[in-house]
Amino acid sequence: MQIRELYAYRRFERNLIGLLALMFVVSGLFKFFAPALLPLSFASFGYPVWFAYVVALAEIGGGILLLGQRSCFYGASLLGLILFGAFLTHLIHGQNQLAVVPLALMCQLLMLAHLHSERVVAQVERLLRWYELDGKIAFKSGS
């Protein structure tokens, strides 16, 4: 890959992450400051009203996590789980056309999580410091 192509790819990735982060932070803030209609829509699906605020906090937190180079995987995974729940909720309640939006966003977030998963694997390996001792896997003692 040439330098110019790599630069264009990185710029596209950062723009996509920025747009997704902005969208989820604004969506979460909207859930907090919206009229009473939003919690009622959650209640109409059978969820408790307080669940709207939990989802709002998760959307804001996930959007912020997307912006970090090391935390992008975690943000994309968190938001992907939220969108999977939204997708299933729409399908269960017969709103198949509305289920397309969470599905499309979930695919984008899964792509981002996959792109950033190598960093996470490296971090976990550094954290755990696995050593093979006589054919057995063991932790390095912390003392």
Per-run averaged pLDDT (10 residues), the chain, 143 residues: 74 91 94 76 86 93 94 94 95 92 94 84 71 53 51
Domain boundaries, the chain: 3-118
How high is the pLDDT of residue 143? 47
Joined tokens for residue 78: 């968190």
Question: Cα torsion at 48, 87, 115, 124 (round to 10°)?
Answer: 40
Q: Return the pLDDT at 87.
A: 96
Distance CA 124, CA 65 (A): 18
Give pLDDT, residue 134: 46
CA distance 27 to 19: 12
pLDDT value of residue 41: 82
pLDDT of residue 136: 58
pLDDT of residue 133: 47
